Every structure is written in C-alpha cells, then in structure tokens.
C-alpha cells in the first residue's frame, strides 16, 4: 500500500491521500524534479489506509483529496485533522467543490488546491508554506500554553487593563482575590468595582500616569482596602502594554500579596517600639536612681551636721552648768570686795573682773541655748516685725560702725509660724556677723530684704537640698547681705561647725551660725550662705508661710 | 528685825560669800547648809523666813527638798527661791521668774538680784523691779 521512496532523514515526509491515479505520478515527478531533496512522498488511496499510516507517525504534511472512495467532503478533512491536529494539511479538491475546500481552511487546513488548476510551482510553494506555517503555529501555541500555565498557576496576581483601566484579562489568583469563581466575570470592570475608592483612586492614578508617560511603576507597596473592611497589602509592579507601533494600548501588572509579611513587619515595629520604650524606662529609672542617690547624699550631709550638733548640744549643757557655778562664786566675791570701799585701782580691777565674768557667762549662755534649741514656742508672726525689732536692737552698732542700712521689706507678708525670741536671736546673730565683717571696710552697707514667693527646686543649693519644702509651697525668702570681707573659700564648708570661729578670742563662741541654722531648721526653714560675686556675703532664709484665713 | 534666810547649796565658796554679802546689809541672818540631805532638818531647826535652794546638787534634787518642805505643815508657808546654773536668765524672765510656782534665780546672780528676789517675797505688793530688761514687750 505504501510506496516508499528513497529518502534521507532531513526530507519532509508527505502523505498523499487520494484516489485519482493520474495525479500521483505527476506530483511525484514535480516533487522529485524540483525539490526532491526536501520531500519524500507516500501515497494512500483511501481515507482508512491514510489514517492508519498517520497513526504510525513521522508524517510532516498531508495532502488529502476531499473525495475519496470511503469519505466525502469536509468530513474527510475533519477526520484527518482530528487524528493529527499538529500536522499541516493541504486540501485537494475538484473545481466542483472549491467552495467546500475554502471552508476547510477555516477549520484548520493550511491551504486548498484545485486539482484541475494544479501548477507544479504553486503546489510546491503551498507545501513549503504549509509546513513552515504549521511550525510557527506550534511554536506560538507552545508559548501560549506556557503563558497560560504561568497565569493559571502562579499565586501572584496578574492582569491586563485597557486605557481606561478596565480589566481585559486577569488570572485566577486575582479573581480569587476578588472572590470571583470565574475570571471572566471581571472583564470590563475596574478596581472601583472591587476595592474602596481609597485604593482604587490611587491605582487608577498610577495606571493613567503609566499610560501618559510610558514609565513603569516597579515594586511599590500598596494598601488595598476592600468594601467588606478587609485590608490587604500588595507588592506591585505595573507596566505599559504597547502595540507593534509602540503605542501604549493599556497596562498590565503583577502583584504579590504581602499582607502576612506586613503583619510580621508591624509586629516587628511594635516589638521595636516596646524595646525602645523599655530602654527609655530603664534610662529614666537610672536617672531617678541618680537623683535619689544625690538626695540621699544631701540628707546624709544634713544628718551628719545634725548629729554633730546634737552630741555637742548635750556636752554644752553640762559644760555650761559646771561653768556657771564657779562664776556664781566669783560674782559673790566681786560683790563682797566691791562692798568693802575699795580704792580707785581696786575698783578698776573689780570692773575688769565683772566684765570678764559677763563674757564667761555669755559663752555659757550660748552653750545652753545651743543645747536647748529643741524647744520652740511658735505662733503665727509677722516676719517683718521680727526683723524690725532685731534691727532696732543693733541700731547702736550700725551707727557706731557707720554702716548704711538698706531695708526692702515686702509689705503684707503672710504670717510665719515662729518662736519670736529664737528668731530674733537668729537675726541679731546674722546682723552682728555682717557688722563684724564690715568693721574694717570704708562704706559698709547692710541690706535686708523679704520677698514672698513659691518654692521651686532651682532655689536649692546642691550641697544641702531642703527636704522641708515641696515644689509650689508658699514661702517667704529673707536675704541679709553685706559688702564686707566675705568668707574665705576654705572656710565655707565649716561655717556651720560648732565652735568654728574666725573672730578674735572673746568675740565669738563659734556657736552663732550653728545655733541660728538649727533654730531656722526647727522652724522647717532653710538657711544658705554664699559669698556674693560683688563681694561680701548673702544669707538666705526661707520659711513656709501660713495663708491668712479669709474673714 | 532681821529676816532669817536658809541657804542650801553644795558650793561652799558661794554660800560663804553670799552669806557675807547678805549679812553685811544688816537685814538678814543667814544659815548655810551645804549638805542637801540635811536641808529639811536645817529648815525645821532654823525656822527661816525664806529659803534659797540650789536645784542641781549632788545626790539630791532641789525640787525634792522643796516638795518635802511644802509637805511639812510647820514649814509649808516659807517662801522658797530656786537658784540654778542650768537655766539662762531670759528664760527665767519668760516665766516671770517662776517655775512650778517657785521664783527662780539664774546663776550667776548678783547680790543685788538675790536681795530683790527675797524682798519681792517679803513685800509682794512691789514685785520684780526690772525683770522686763531682756524681754520683748508684747511677747
């Protein structure tokens, strides 16, 4: 049945299925004479034997006559095409059924030739083109299959849109994202049909810009907001689609769902923020700890001072008592001798003795004050009045030393709960210290100020932070300033030490400042002493004031 | 007639000199008792017009002696004046010269101050001549 001609592997195998004995030798001649090197012809005389041969394979081209003994018309073509859809088919027909043959081209035939008009060159060209065209088609369909495989199976969402951002095509992943069973349902719709305007608007703007400029958008992160309230995140690239002339005809894009990644990212951000907060808390705790430590040091300093004063206080009371008894005996002796009509010299001696006795007595008295500073009798008093009274008592000294007094007492001070006598003792002590410091100077000036205010932490000297006040407490500040010799730096740390004095012997016991400060602190006040930049000393006293009850 | 004064103090030098100073005014007869334990008996024997009593003495507290004297019906009317080295003068003045109802003299006290204190007991209508010296009017 099969006529096998000499052939090489490179030759295309052609199966001719036709029942007209006259045509076959002709074709054989044509083929062998012109392109014998390219084609090897086999022949079947009816459809059944032709199909049997095709099932074996290795046929590169089929020439089939529509009119065969066992088949007629389009049916003949269809049966061959069904069996070997990938093999190009050229239909041979008679002039009578040319119209029918033309229809087979639409069904998939590569060409049709009318046998009565068969021209060897035409036949040859048709056969060559049929093979090539079929090869190109196969390659194309393979490519299309690959593309389909990709589109249908990738989890990335892929779409094509027209110039108005309407979907032309979308893959199942995107359809699933839209909760559509069939991707076709989205064709002709746009993002506005599937997302809220918030996202659709942005996406639309991106796409229109791509269409206008031809510039792609690569790797942007999109927040997608859905009508049902869902929020998803996508990593998206969008590009223009161009026709062969390079004109932009639409856009296409590919998106990857990164909602999960975004979630982890947010968790990471949260964790980072928590870490940062923890770090800040630790740092703050450290700062607090440092502040507490500084406060403890200040307190410790105050406690040491207090302990010094206290131990000396008990000692002082004992000393005072033991000194006063002998003083009493001496005084009695002086009294006795004074009554025995002494001469002038003896009288002078007795006067000196009386003076010495008074000095000794005043020291003993200071010692007793010091040990007794614990007992206060406080009443709400006008601090200005206490100061005025104390100034009155030292007025003689001021005049004698030619010291100018500058008074700046704030009117209408709120009362301070204080022990009048003790507080007066404090002021007299401060004033006398100032006067002593200015004795040698030319133009001495004693300045006394009172000012109401509220406690704020900056007011405290770092060495002795007052624990008496809370921020915002109503206070009154008293300042006693002189322009005298000031306190040598080396002595600043010792001025509150009991018995520390720089005054000549007999002029001070070294108890004035410790006693004064101890009295002030028992009034829940503070005393700070500094050298003034302009020379001299500034003493600052602060007391809590009592609001005057409303009438 | 001289007033009889009992002076109770352990400071022998002081008692001798005060006795001298008081007696040379010719106004007073002074008996000294340096042993505080014997103070009550001395008062019973001497029957003084006033007692000058030291507060801080060895072994015996002046306050206890005062209490014993007040407890004796024959002695309880006798004025007692405390003498003490443990109190400073202004503090005595703050209490108008009295502590627990007793007048008080701070050591060292001059002879003149002792005499004034005694006389204010004998003539209560003109008490404490210049006790206002170191205090503040109105306080």
In angstroms, how far is the first alpha carbon of chain B from the final one?
A: 40
Q: Which of A438, A455, A356, A433 is nearest to A404 (CA)?
A: A438
- Partners of B30 in beta bridges: B5
Are A44 and A16 in contact by the 8 Å Cβ rule? The answer is: yes
Are A269 and A232 in contact by the 8 Å Cβ rule? The answer is: no
Pairing of strands A231-242, A248-257: antiparallel
Residue of A nearest to B20 (CA): A336
Are A542 and A426 in contact by the 8 Å Cβ rule? The answer is: no
Any residues with CB less than 8 A from the CB of A316 and at least 6 apart, and which? A367, A368, A370, A371, A511
Assess whether the previous peptide bond of A447 is cis (omega < 30° from 0).
Answer: no
pLDDT confidence tier of residue B67, bands split at 50, 70 and 90:
confident
Instruction: Give the one of B87, B88, B111 whose C-beta lies nearest to A332's C-beta.
Output: B111
Query: How far A325 CA sits from the closest chain B CA (Å)?
Result: 6
What value does the mean pLDDT take over residues A453-463?
A: 63
Residue A12 has pLDDT above 90, yes or no: no
Q: Do B20 and A336 touch (CB under 8 A)?
A: yes
Backbone dihedral region of A481: left (phi > 0), alpha (psi from -120 to 50 degrees) or beta?
beta
Three-state DSSP class for A527? strand
| Model confidence pLDDT, tens digit, residues A64-73 | 888 888 888 8
| Model confidence pLDDT, tens digit, residues A157-184 | 999 999 999 999 999 999 998 888 888 9
Residue whose pair of structure tokens reads 């008080």 in the numeric block? B104
Most distant CA pair in chain B, distance? 45
Determine the pLDDT at residue B128. 45
Determine the pLDDT at residue A470. 72
Determine the pLDDT at residue B131. 43
Q: Do B139 and A369 touch (CB under 8 A)?
A: no
Q: Is A444 exposed, middle or buried (CB count within 10 Å of its CB: 0-12, 13-18, 19+)?
A: buried
Integer-rounded Cα Rg, in Å, for chain A is: 60
Instruction: Give the one of B21, B85, B86 whose C-beta lies nearest to A332's C-beta.
Output: B21
At residue A335, φ and ψ (nearest 5 deg) are -55, -45
Instruction: Give the one of A324, A357, A424 whose C-beta lies nearest to B85's C-beta.
Output: A324
Q: Do B136 and A331 touch (CB under 8 A)?
A: no
CA A177 to each of CA A163, A201, A259, A445: distance values in angstroms, whole numbers, following the listed order:
23, 18, 12, 91
Q: Which of A177, A17, A33, A7 is nearest to A84 (CA)?
A: A17
Q: Do A368 and B109 touch (CB under 8 A)?
A: no
Instruction: Give the one of B17, B89, B139 whose C-beta lies nearest to A332's C-beta.
Output: B17
Q: Which DSSP helix (H) or strand (E) runs through A298?
A: helix A259-338
Residue A209 has pLDDT above 90, yes or no: yes
Q: Which residues of B touch A365 (CB under 8 A)?
A: 88-89
Any residues with CB less than 8 A from the CB of A453 and at least 6 apart, and which? A474, A475, A476, A477
Q: Which residues of B touch A322 (CB under 8 A)?
A: 85
Which segments of A284-429 are extended strands (E)? 379-381, 404-409, 416-418
Residue B123 has pLDDT above 90, yes or no: no
Q: Do A328 and B20 touch (CB under 8 A)?
A: no
Describe the strand order of the beta sheet including B50-54 as a list of residue ranges.
Answer: B28-33, B3-8, B50-54, B80-84, B102-106, B98-99
Q: Which of B58, B64, B57, B65 is nearest to B84 (CA)?
A: B57
Q: Do B136 and A321 touch (CB under 8 A)?
A: no
| Model confidence pLDDT, tens digit, residues B10-63 | 889 999 999 999 999 999 999 999 999 999 999 999 999 999 999 878 788 788
Q: Give dist(CA A329, CA A349) in Å, integer.
A: 17
| Model confidence pLDDT, tens digit, residues A114-166 | 877 777 777 778 888 888 888 888 888 888 888 889 888 988 999 999 999 99
Are A415 and A382 in contact by the 8 Å Cβ rule? The answer is: yes
């Amino acid at each position: 049945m099969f006529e096998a001609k000499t052939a090489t592997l490179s030759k295309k195998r052609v199966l001719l299925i036709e029942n007209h004995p006259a045509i076959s030798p002709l074709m054989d001649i044509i083929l062998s004479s012109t392109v014998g090197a390219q084609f090897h012809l086999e022949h079947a005389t009816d459809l059944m034997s032709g199909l049997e041969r095709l099932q074996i394979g290795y046929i590169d081209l089929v020439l089939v006559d529509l009119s065969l003994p066992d088949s007629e018309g389009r049916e003949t073509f269809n049966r061959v095409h069904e069996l070997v859809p990938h093999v190009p088919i050229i239909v041979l027909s008679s002039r009578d059924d040319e119209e029918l043959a033309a229809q087979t081209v639409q069904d998939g035939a590569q060409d049709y030739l009318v046998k009565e008009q068969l021209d060897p060159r035409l036949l040859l060209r048709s056969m060559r083109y049929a093979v090539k065209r079929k090869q190109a088609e196969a390659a194309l369909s393979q490519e299309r299959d690959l593309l389909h495989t990709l589109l249908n199976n990738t989890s990335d969402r892929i779409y094509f849109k027209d110039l108005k951002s309407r979907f032309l095509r979308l893959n199942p992943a995107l359809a699933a994202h839209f909760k559509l069973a069939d991707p076709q349902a989205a064709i002709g719709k746009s993002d506005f049909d599937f997302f809220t305007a918030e996202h659709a608007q942005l996406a639309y703007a991106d796409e229109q810009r791509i269409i206008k400029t031809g510039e792609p958008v690569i790797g942007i992160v999109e927040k997608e907001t859905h009508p049902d309230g869902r929020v998803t995140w996508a990593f998206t690239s969008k590009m223009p689609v161009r026709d062969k002339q390079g004109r932009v005809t639409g856009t296409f894009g590919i998106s990857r769902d990164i909602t999960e990644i975004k979630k982890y990212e947010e968790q990471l951000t949260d964790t980072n923020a928590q870490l940062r907060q923890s770090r800040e808390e630790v740092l703050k705790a450290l700062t607090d700890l440092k502040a507490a430590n500084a406060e403890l040091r200040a307190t410790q300093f105050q406690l040491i001072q207090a302990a010094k004063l206290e131990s000396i206080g008990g000692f002082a009371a004992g000393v005072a008592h033991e000194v006063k008894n002998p003083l009493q005996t001496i005084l009695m002796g002086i009294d006795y001798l004074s009554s025995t009509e002494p001469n002038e010299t003896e009288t002078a001696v007795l006067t000196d003795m009386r003076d010495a006795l008074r000095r000794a007595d005043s020291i003993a008295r200071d010692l007793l004050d010091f040990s007794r500073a614990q007992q206060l009798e406080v009443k709400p008093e006008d601090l200005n009045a206490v100061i005025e009274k104390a100034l009155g008592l030292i007025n003689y000294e001021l005049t004698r030393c030619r010291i100018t007094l500058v008074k700046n007492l704030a009117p209408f001070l709120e009362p301070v709960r204080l022990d009048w006598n003790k507080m007066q003792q404090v002021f007299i002590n401060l004033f006398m210290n100032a006067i002593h410091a200015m004795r040698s100077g030319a133009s001495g000036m004693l300045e006394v100020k009172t000012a109401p205010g509220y406690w704020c932490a900056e007011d405290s000297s770092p060495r002795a932070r007052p624990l008496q006040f809370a921020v915002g407490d109503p206070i009154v500040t008293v300042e006693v300033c002189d322009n005298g010799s000031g306190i040598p730096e080396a002595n600043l740390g010792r001025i509150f030490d009991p018995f520390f004095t720089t005054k000549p012997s007999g002029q001070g016991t070294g108890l004035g400042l410790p006693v004064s400060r101890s009295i002030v602190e028992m009034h829940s006040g503070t005393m700070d002493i500094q050298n003034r930049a302009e020379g001299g000393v500034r003493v600052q006293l602060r007391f809590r004031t009592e609001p005057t009850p409303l009438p | 007639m001289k007033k009889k004064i009992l002076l109770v103090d352990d400071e022998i030098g002081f008692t001798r000199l005060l006795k001298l100073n008081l007696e040379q005014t010719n106004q007073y007869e002074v008996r000294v008792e340096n042993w505080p334990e014997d103070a009550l008996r001395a008062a019973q024997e001497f029957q003084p017009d006033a007692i000058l009593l030291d507060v801080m003495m060895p072994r015996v507290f002046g306050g206890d002696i005062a209490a014993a004297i007040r407890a004796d019906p024959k002695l309880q009317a006798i004025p007692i004046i405390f003498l003490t080295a443990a109190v400073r003068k202004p503090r005595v003045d703050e209490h108008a010269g009295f502590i627990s109802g007793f007048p008080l003299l701070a050591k060292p006290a001059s002879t003149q101050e002792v005499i004034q204190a005694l006389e204010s007991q004998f003539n209560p209508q003109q008490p404490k001549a210049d006790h206002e010296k170191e205090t503040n009017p109105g306080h």
